[in-house]
Amino acid sequence: MKDLINQLNTSGSDVSTTGSINTSTVDAQNLVTATAQKALTKLGYGSLKADGVVGSGTRKAITAFQRANKLHVTGELDAPTLRLLTPGKLASH
């Protein structure tokens, strides 16, 4: 997760990556969380607001998703959870 955040923040100033000369960093943690919240909602794990904040509803949805997919249940958006939840949406390294 930290590698992904670093990559997103680093690419914020790379015109070839972003197509923009905006040098402000993206709050990558919120972006990743909001993407996961959208995916969890789409998959039927609740009606989550994609605000990038991990609250009790998001944790409950993550836990249910992890159980359903036979992942280690942490209630956190760890790497295995993100890989299954958002295939092709997030950089993989």
Q: What CATH number is associated with residue 57? A: 1.10.101
Stretch 52-67: mean pLDDT, rounded? Answer: 96
With a cut of 50, say whether residue 93 has pLDDT above it: no
Question: Structural domain of residue 35, as residue ranges?
Answer: 27-93
pTM of structure: 0.68
Please count the structural domains in the chain.
1
Stretch 62-86: mean pLDDT, rounded? Answer: 95
- pLDDT score recorded for residue 87: 79
| Burial environment of residue 82 by CB neighbours within 10 A (0 to 12, 13 to 18, 19 or more) | buried
In a domain, 14, yes or no: no
- pLDDT score recorded for residue 4: 57
Q: How far is 5 from 26, CA to CA, in rounded Å?
A: 9
- pLDDT score recorded for residue 64: 97
- pLDDT score recorded for residue 19: 54
> Which residues contact residue 79 at a Cβ distance below 8 angstroms, ignoring those fewer than 6 apart?
1
- pLDDT score recorded for residue 28: 84
In a domain, 48, yes or no: yes
3 touches 52 (CB < 8 A): no
66 touches 74 (CB < 8 A): yes
One-letter amino acid of 8: L
